[in-house]
Structure 1
Amino acid sequence: MKQTRRQHLVMIGGAMAATVASSHAALASGEMHEIDMLNVDPDDRQQRMLFKPAIVRVQPGDSIKFLATDRGHNAQSIDGMTPEGAEAFSGRINEEIEITLDVEGTYGYICQPHQTMGMIGFILVGDFTTNLEDVRTAAGALRGRDTTRRVEEYLAEIDAIATEEGLA
């Protein structure tokens, strides 16, 4: 995996969490971040149907490219988990899509065919707490045991990032 263009600020899949950069705020605007769409986590084969990294911390103006690393996946925003004023996005199955995020907030996204299996992720842009309560509310409508478990894990990690950055 190419690390030079990636800012893997938070990798969750199994028990792995890593930061790359001296601080979350150190990222410059306009960077490209990549997210793999995977059937199996190559670092933890017990983890299946996931985005890696599952949580990405970016700045307004940064772009995300969803990589069709494994076939059969897409990336699309979740209703109620996109900041007000931000555009929803949706890629087709097996399609790599690129989005640029200009509106601060938390963006939740899923792989439509594998959402109930827990294939969900979050992008944190700027002051990502602006719509975090809306994200929590919308998360209650998601279905699937694995989805519920991952959402709880990821929201706890997002809360930790907010506390670390003084946004909580």
Structure 2
Amino acid sequence: MKHIALLTILSALPPLVALAETHEVQMYTRNGQGAMIYEPEFLKIAPGDAVRFIPVQSGHNAAIIDGMLPLGAVPFKSQINEEFTVTLTVPGSYGIKCSPHFAMGMVMLIQVGDIPQADFPADLPRRAKDRFTAILARETE
């Protein structure tokens, strides 16, 4: 009887924690989209959601690009060839790179919440900037 009363009380309470999602990003040396690819290359997620980076092909990691991190967010860098999950709580745009393939344009963009896109750092490698420009062009079509 005590269990039924407790369940009745608990079911009447509003949820205390919203369920966060985990989004998967696969890292490829080459796939149908080309060379040095995060798939997807763009994510729009809610604050508190997690992103799991999966190295489908070897030689890749996920790291924050200097200057492409919301104020107050904590930078991260995964190990090469290791699956890595990060929870992003601060709204804004997060520029992600594969450390060994950054100059080759292996980047992606994660937008947390509805904050507009951030500016690119002035020292962004040309191929990385070209890929970000293409990502944003597809996302605003």
Provide TM-score, normalisation by structure 2.
0.81
Q: Contact (CA 8 Å) 2:109, 2:132: kept in 1 or not?
A: no
Q: Contact (CA 8 Å) 1:29, 1:59: kept in 2 or not?
A: no
Which of residues 136, 140, 146 is equivalent to 2:119?
Answer: 136
Find the aligned partners of 2:61 and 2:128 in 1 and give their Cα distance.
16
Which residue of 1 is the match for residue 92 of structure 2? 105
Segments of 4+ in structure 1 off by > 4 A?
A: none
Higher relative helix content: 1
Higher-Rg member (1/2): 2
Counting matched residue pairs gives: 124
**Unmatched segments (≥5 aa) in structure 2:** 1-17
Find the aligned partners of 2:134 and 2:123 in 1 and give their Cα distance.
16
The change in CA–CA distance for 1:123 and 1:152 in structure 2 (over 3 A counts) is same
Percent sequence identity over aligned pairs: 38
Deviation, 1:156, is 2.7
Look up the SS of the partner of 1:156 in the other structure: helix
Deviation, 1:136, is 1.8
Question: Which amino acid in the other structure matches residue 52 of structure 2?
Answer: K
Indicate whether 1:83 and 2:70 are aligned. yes
Find the aligned partners of 1:148 and 1:72 in 2 and give their Cα distance.
21
Which residue of 2 is the match for residue 93 of structure 1? 80
Which residue of 2 is the match for residue 148 of structure 1? 129
**CA deviations over 1:117-139 (Å, ceiling 9, x no partner):** 1100011111231xx3xx3241x
Q: Please give the residue correspondences for 1:26-65 in structure 2 after superposition, counting only pairs within 5 Å.
A: 30-41=20-31, 43-44=32-33, 47-65=34-52
Deviation, 1:29, is 5.1
Find the aligned partners of 2:44 and 2:19 in 1 and give their Cα distance.
12
Find the aligned partners of 1:65 and 1:137 in 2 and give their Cα distance.
24
> Which gives a bigger RCO, structure 1 or 2 (Cα 8 Å, sep 6+)?
2
**CA deviations over 1:113-165 (Å, ceiling 9, x no partner):** 00111100011111231xx3xx3241x31114x3232121123345x17xxxx
